[in-house]
Amino acid sequence: MAADAWQQNIYGNLIIESNKSDTVSDLAGGEAFSLKGVNKEGNRFILAHHEGGITRVETEQGLQIDAGAKKTSNGGTAMQVTAHTGNLSLTAVKDHVLIKASKTITLDANDIIIKGTNNIQIGGDDIGDTKEIKLIAQKINVSGPAGKQDLLDHLKLSSFMAATSGKLSFVSDTALGMTKSFDIGGIAGSKLGAAAGGAIGGPVGAAIGSKIGEQIGSEIV
């Protein structure tokens, strides 16, 4: 680009430039055109379109974007940001990234990674801040000092664990069935009742022993 092609027009605190050959970086290249301004505090604003294909917006203070203030329809998109090729990156160099919605925030992707160097918190600081947390998946893996484990197995919620543990499990039902099949209560009641009746003796002892045996047998499952 020839140096004599550079043009600059100054309107008070606003500068309009085109064909500026000096670069911000090797990637950006020279400025095809730019709008530059400065306020009374000396804070600058730059909107520049570079020969390297980058369009750069720079402000030395805050940048606020408002959209949809007079949008008549409820719902729908008031602001759309699309990266057709490449990543979409948001970086807060020294502070936080805050995303807030009055209804729902949806993250939709093939894989979603939440990475925290110090801590990951799900839910508010107080118990009453979050009513419910739902984890819905075929398998939920948890890795820790003890190794990798399926959370559903750990909480005894998987189909396998439900079948092998707990009061209503397959194993529990099988054990109960075996107990009933062998009539352990009846056998124990009969033995204890006979012993008690024999100790008393006579017809009265036999009658009392029979009643004791029935009562004890019904209590043993």
The more confident residue out of 155 and 175 is 155
45 within some domain:
yes
For residue 50, the enclosing domain spans: 3-59
53 within some domain:
yes
Of the three residues 59, 77, 92, the one that is the final residue of a domain is 59
147 within some domain:
no
110 within some domain:
no
| Phi/psi of residue 39, nearest 5 degrees | -95, -175
**pLDDT greater than 80 at residue 53:** yes
pTM score, whole prediction = 0.58
Name the nearest CA neighbour of 221 among 168, 194, 181: 181
Radius of gyration of the chain (CA): 39
203 within some domain:
yes
pLDDT digits (tens, 9 = 90+) for 71-108: 887 778 999 999 999 999 999 999 999 999 988 999 99
Name the nearest CA neighbour of 135 among 122, 120, 149, 117: 122
107 within some domain:
no
CB burial readout 138-161, b (16+ within 10 A) else e: eebeeeeeeeeebebeeeeebeeb
Confidence of residue 180 (pLDDT cuts 50, 70, 90): low
The more confident residue out of 89 and 161 is 89
Inter-residue contact 162 to 156 (CB < 8 Å): yes
- Tell me the mean pLDDT in the region 24-34: 76
pLDDT at position 10, please? 94
**pLDDT greater than 90 at residue 4:** no
192 within some domain:
yes
Q: Specify the number of domains making up the chain.
A: 2
- Tell me the mean pLDDT in the region 51-62: 91
Of the three residues 43, 59, 75, the one that is the final residue of a domain is 59
Q: Which distant-in-sequence residues (6+ apart) come within 8 Å of 188 by Cβ?
A: 216, 217, 220
